[in-house]
């Protein structure tokens, strides 16, 4: 069953059970490209913008109060019944670079639902998608505004998850306290470190990742709304952007802790906010660095868990599933490998924004759909990945004390403190000879009378070395 909807280009047949209109239907026909839809958080943010705009236009005397109330009611109804209405937002992320099709998709759905709530038929345009729902707005300010709102909200959720991962590393620092192991540089044995010291480095990487993400918030919070077509604010009230931003803060107070993070504000300069994606690239870069931190940390754990006999084998990684279809008993480091692939994908999304940035020309960056997809897809992946690293890798790590003791006993780099007493060249000779005789440095210097037992105990005390 279909109904006929109209737009300035003419009539279009639309599925009768859907709330979208002619422009959405045209976009469905034009952009059957990837099957990737806009993230729900962005669509919900656009709906919030429509709700806030209706309230502000009503309060400014620019929109009939009955129409405003119907728009507000329709917006709330969609948000409160998302599972019912989510399939009314079907458009591909790859479309016109301003995201006009998606802005109109939301305008049309709210318009037709508001018409129904008023007892009118879908397509009657009693509530007009452009004149009423989109009043005082343009796709050029709505879409970047929605991406900023969604990105901010989702980033806060990611930060909470990273904090949980940080706590798991803190617990391991306590659990592994006092275990001294071989340090490694260039993948070769180096002077000793404690497990706690090593894990404190991982924990600090994660803490700095949070700080980097948070550092973008003062710029990410600047909303483009109020700039309309090119940043001049044509066809809208001079206070529209400021007032809508205040409404967004009211709506988002349960999702973003504004006692800790800055509130949304109207853009300091609409020409910058709408014409470039610098802040989005900066934000994606902070996510990229978090990806790189996860890759470094989990790859270290992968190396330390390698073996069990032919590798380093200092850690027992949680055994999650059989590792081979042909080798019985083999168990692989599946979580670090999944991290490597997922983070590489997110880093690729970050790089895509560097390339597409060339489509930021003059007064509008025609890149926003890809920007929105790259950010939301990355954050969704990183939220899940962070939980998995914590729950299925870090919490279950156990030290292989026997292997750790063996490696540290024969680590030639423990000779380093002897260089202060015997000189670098003599210490180097001791290492080479100890390796030839296949005994520890400690036993070599005692066997050949180079140092007394007291001197060995003093100079080769592992606790002093760390």
Q: What would the pLDDT profile of 417-455 be if each residue is shown by its tens digit? A: 999 999 999 999 999 999 999 999 999 999 999 999 999
Per-residue pLDDT of 202-225, as tens digits, reads 999 999 999 999 999 999 999 999
* Residue 387's pLDDT band (cuts 50, 70, 90): very high
Query: What is the second-level CATH architecture of the domain 141-209+276-401?
Result: Up-down Bundle (1.20)
Residues of the chain with CATH 1.10.40.30: 410-465
Q: Which residue has the tokens 């018409």?
A: 115
Distance CA 108, CA 125 (A): 9
Question: Residues 11, 34, 215, 324: which is the catalytic one?
Answer: 324
> What predicted TM-score, i.e. pTM, was given to this entire model?
0.96
Neighbours of 363 (CB within 10 A): 15
Per CATH, which fold does 2-135 belong to? Fumarase C; Chain B, domain 1 (1.10.275)
Residue 197 CB-density burial (10 A; 0-12 exposed, 13-18 middle, 19+ buried): middle
Residue 131: the pLDDT is 98
Q: What percent of the chain has pLDDT over 90?
A: 99
* Residue 339's pLDDT band (cuts 50, 70, 90): very high
Distance CA 183, CA 411 (A): 9
Residues of the chain with CATH 1.20.200.10: 141-209+276-401
Residue 284: the pLDDT is 98
Residue 50: the pLDDT is 99
Is 215 in the active site? no
Domain 410-465 classified CATH 2.40.30.160? no
Residue 316: the pLDDT is 97
Residues of the chain with CATH 1.10.275.10: 2-135
Per-residue pLDDT of 63-98, as tens digits, reads 999 999 999 999 999 999 999 999 999 999 999 999
Per-residue pLDDT of 234-276, as tens digits, reads 999 999 999 999 999 999 999 999 999 999 999 999 999 999 9
Per-residue pLDDT of 5-42, as tens digits, reads 999 999 999 999 999 999 999 999 999 999 999 999 99
Q: What is each CA distance from 338 to 53, 122, 293, 321, in whole angstroms? A: 43, 47, 14, 13
H helix count then E strand count, the chain? 19, 10
| Residues 162 and 209: beta-carbon distance below 8 Å | yes
Distance CA 382, CA 389 (A): 10
Is 186 in the active site? yes
Distance CA 431, CA 415 (A): 7
């Amino acid at each position: 069953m279909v109904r006929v909807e109209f737009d300035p280009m003419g009539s279009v047949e639309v599925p009768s059970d859907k709330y979208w209109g002619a422009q959405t239907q045209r976009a469905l026909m034009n952009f059957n490209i990837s099957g990737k839809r806009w993230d729900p958080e962005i669509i919900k943010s656009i709906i919030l913008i429509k709700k806030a705009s209706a309230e502000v236009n009503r309060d400014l005397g620019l929109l009939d109060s009955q129409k405003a109330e119907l728009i507000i009611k329709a917006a709330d109804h969609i948000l409160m019944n998302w599972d019912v209405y989510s399939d009314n937002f079907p458009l591909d992320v790859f479309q016109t670079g301003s995201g006009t099709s998606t802005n109109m998709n939301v305008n049309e759905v709210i318009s037709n639902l508001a018409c129904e709530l008023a007892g009118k038929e879908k397509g009657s345009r009693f509530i007009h998608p452009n004149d009423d729902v989109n009043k005082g707005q343009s796709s050029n300010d709505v879409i970047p505004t929605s991406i900023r709102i969604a990105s901010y909200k989702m980033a806060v959720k990611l930060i909470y998850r990273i904090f949980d991962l940080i706590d798991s590393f803190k617990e391991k620092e306590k659990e592994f306290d006092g275990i001294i192991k071989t340090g490694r540089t260039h993948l070769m044995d180096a002077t000793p470190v404690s497990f706690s010291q090593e894990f404190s480095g991982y924990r600090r990487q994660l803490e700095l990742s949070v700080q980097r993400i948070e550092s973008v918030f003062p710029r990410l919070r600047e909303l483009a709304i109020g700039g309309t077509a090119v940043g001049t604010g044509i066809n809208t009230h001079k206070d529209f952007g400021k007032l809508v931003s205040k409404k967004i803060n009211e709506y988002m107070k349960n999702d973003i802790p504004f006692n800790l993070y800055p509130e949304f504000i109207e853009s300091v300069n609409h020409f910058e906010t709408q014409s470039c994606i610098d802040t989005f690239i900066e934000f994606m870069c902070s996510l990229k660095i978090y990806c790189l931190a996860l890759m470094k940390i989990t790859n270290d754990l992968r190396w330390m868990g390698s073996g069990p006999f032919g590798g380093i084998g200092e850690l027992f990684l949680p055994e999650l599933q059989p590792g081979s279809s042909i080798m019985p008993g083999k168990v692989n480091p599946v979580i670090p490998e999944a991290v490597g692939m997922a983070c590489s994908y997110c880093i690729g999304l970050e790089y895509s924004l560097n390339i597409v940035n060339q489509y930021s020309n003059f007064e509008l960056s025609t890149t926003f759909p890809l920007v929105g997809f790259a950010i939301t897809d990355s954050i969704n992946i990183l939220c899940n990945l962070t939980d998995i690293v914590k729950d299925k890798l870090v919490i279950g790590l156990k030290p292989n004390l026997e292997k750790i003791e063996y490696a540290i006993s024969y680590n030639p780099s423990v000779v380093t403190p002897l260089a202060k007493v015997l000189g670098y060249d003599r210490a180097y000779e001791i290492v080479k000879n100890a390796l030839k005789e296949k005994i520890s440095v400690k036993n070599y210097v005692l066997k050949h009378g180079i140092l007394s037992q007291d001197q060995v105990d003093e100079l080769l005390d592992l606790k002093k070395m760390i």
